[in-house]
Amino acid sequence: MAGDEQPEMMPIPFDVPTSARAYGWMLGGKDNYAVDREFLLHTLPDFPECVDIARQNREFLFRVVRHLTQAGVRQFIDMGCGLPTDDNVHQVAQRFAPDARVVYVDIDPIVLAHAHALLADDATTTVITGDMRDQDAILDHPDVRRLIDFDEPVAVLFLSVGHHLTDADDPRRVLHTIIDRAAPGSYLGFSQVVSDDPERGAAMTAHISGSGVPWQTRTPGEVDVLLDGLAPVEPGLLNLVDWRPDADQPSLAPVHEDLAPYLGATEQNKGIYEYGGLLRKA
Ligand SMILES: C[S@@+](CC[C@H](N)C(=O)[O-])C[C@H]1O[C@@H](n2cnc3c(N)ncnc32)[C@H](O)[C@@H]1O
């Protein structure tokens, strides 16, 4: 597979929850530790929407990658890709466009460990451990140079990672660095957790960042400012459940019984949701 020459593995943290493992648990995954489960079970009473919105985001990922292949895109950089699960970006893309190429990037070393096994026989998909805040290092990575041709349209995906970029990270710079250098006709996929109620958003930010996971819940208006300069594809930037919904798309794995009581919480409470869409570079 591509991506065998990796820097020495960073240690996997066991004393703090990680986003990749907690999110993976909400998608039905099993690669998590007590610290991740305790973090979520401590978070959900105050923010019960989290299970629904994680799953709604993952369903959006399928629809957006399918749409991109139908629009002719054949190369993808998936920033903060998360732990492998069903219907990962390369599997969705290659189902509709077998020649699609994918570079996965994630800061969490557990992602690399699990993705290596999944990608063992795949020459057109690679995974690298990297920090999306260091866009220049990602652009310079040999696997990115080998698989991505910046003279052709590329899709840069920041799906459910915007909330991991705080204002101190200069998120506008992070989001625009690659797309600014990419060919016209390239796309940026984006989603993040938002709240229409700034007070509740601030409480969520304090709770999650206080647990050791970098986090900033924004308002939809704050997200719009970050993405200014790119043209949203129809139906625009909105709650992801309304982005080209498809009742026939593949379903996700069932959730663990401890999380099942929280399924459907977004029906009662619409205050916190995953917001985003797809934007095109003219
Ligand atoms: C909520 S998951 C989203 C996974 C996937 N993008 C999806 O939409 O299904 C967020 C992921 O972003 C990763 N992440 C957080 N901060 C990051 C950073 N600075 N650089 C790269 N990855 C990061 C986490 O490790 C985690 O795997």
CA of 16 to the centre of ligand 1 (A): 15
Ligand 1 proximity of 20 Cβ (cutoff 6 Å): yes
Helix (H, G, I), strand (E, B) or coil at 86: coil
pTM of the model as a whole: 0.96
Both tokens of residue 79?
């920033």
| Alpha carbons 171 and 179: distance in angstroms, whole number | 13
pLDDT in tens, 106-136: 999 899 888 887 887 778 999 999 999 999 9
Per-residue model confidence (pLDDT) at position 9: 54
| Alpha carbons 251 and 258: distance in angstroms, whole number | 20
Ligand 1 proximity of 160 Cβ (cutoff 6 Å): yes
CA of 203 to the centre of ligand 1 (A): 21
| Alpha carbons 69 and 61: distance in angstroms, whole number | 12
CA of 77 to the centre of ligand 1 (A): 13
Ligand 1 proximity of 23 Cβ (cutoff 6 Å): yes
On whether the CB atoms of residues 6 and 13 are closer than 8 A, the answer is no
| Alpha carbons 129 and 155: distance in angstroms, whole number | 19
Give me the residue spans of the domains in the chain: 19-280
19-280: which CATH topology? Rossmann fold (3.40.50)
Lowest mean pLDDT among 11-20, 100-109, 224-233: 11-20
pLDDT in tens, 191-225: 999 999 999 999 999 999 999 999 999 999 999 99
Q: With 50 as the cut, is the pLDDT of residue 4 above it?
A: no
Per-residue model confidence (pLDDT) at position 91: 95
Question: Distances from the Cα of 122 to the Cαs of 26, 91, 97, in angstroms?
Answer: 27, 11, 15
Identify which of 19, 110, 157, 178 to mutate to test ligand 1's pocket (most ligand atoms within 8 A of the CB).
19
| Alpha carbons 256 and 191: distance in angstroms, whole number | 24
